[in-house]
Amino acid sequence: MRILICPDKYRGTATAGVAAQAISDGFPKSLSDPVLIPLADGGEGTLDALGGSNRVSPVTGPLGDVVSARWRIARGQAVIEMAEASGLLLAGGPSENDPLAATTSGTGELISEAKASGARRIIIGVGGSASTDGGLGAIRAMEPLVRFSGVDLLVACDVETRFLDAPAVFGPQKGASKLQIQLLERRLQRLSEIYVEEYGIDVTALQRSGAAGGLAGGLAAVGAELVRGFDLIAEEVALEEAIASADLVITGEGRLDKESFNGKVVGGVVALAERYQVPVVAVVGSYDIDTDVPDSMKTISLVESFGEELAHTETTRCLKDVGRQISAEL
Residue 177 sits in a domain of what CATH number?
3.90.1510.10
Span 201-230, mean pLDDT?
A: 97
pLDDT of residue 159: 92
Q: What percentage of the chain reaches a pLDDT higher than 90?
A: 92
- Cβ-defined contacts of 194-201 (< 8 Å, 24+): 195/221
Same domain flag for 76 and 154: yes
Span 31-59, mean pLDDT?
A: 94
Same domain flag for 224 and 306: no
For the stretch 157-166, pLDDT in tens is 999 999 999 9
SS3 annotation, 274-318: HHCCCCEEEEEEEECCCCCCCCCEEEEEHHHHHCHHHHHHCHHHH
Task: Give the domain range for residue 312.
Answer: 3-39+238-328
Span 273-299, mean pLDDT?
A: 93
Span 180-209, mean pLDDT?
A: 98
Q: Which of 199, 230, 261 finishes a domain?
A: 230
Same domain flag for 175 and 303: no
Structural domains in the chain (count)? 2
Same domain flag for 76 and 184: yes
Span 15-20, mean pLDDT?
A: 96
Same domain flag for 179 and 59: yes
Q: Which of 207, 230, 253 finishes a domain?
A: 230
Q: What is the CATH number of the domain that holds 245?
A: 3.40.50.10350
Is residue 32 very low, low, confident or very high in pLDDT (cuts 50, 70, 90)?
confident
pLDDT of residue 292: 87
Residue 201 amino acid letter: I
pLDDT of residue 29: 83
Q: Which of 198, 230, 262 finishes a domain?
A: 230
Model confidence at 31: pLDDT above 90: no
Is residue 167 very low, low, confident or very high in pLDDT (cuts 50, 70, 90)?
very high
Is residue 290 very low, low, confident or very high in pLDDT (cuts 50, 70, 90)?
confident
pLDDT of residue 139: 98
**Contact 233/41 with Cβ under 8 angstroms?**
yes
Is residue 155 very low, low, confident or very high in pLDDT (cuts 50, 70, 90)?
very high
The DSSP code for 32 is P
Same domain flag for 136 and 209: yes
The DSSP code for 208 is T
Same domain flag for 51 and 7: no
Span 282-297, mean pLDDT?
A: 91
Same domain flag for 186 and 291: no
For the stretch 315-325, pLDDT in tens is 999 999 999 99
Q: Is 86 exposed, middle or buried (0-12, 13-18, 19+ CB in 10 A)?
A: buried
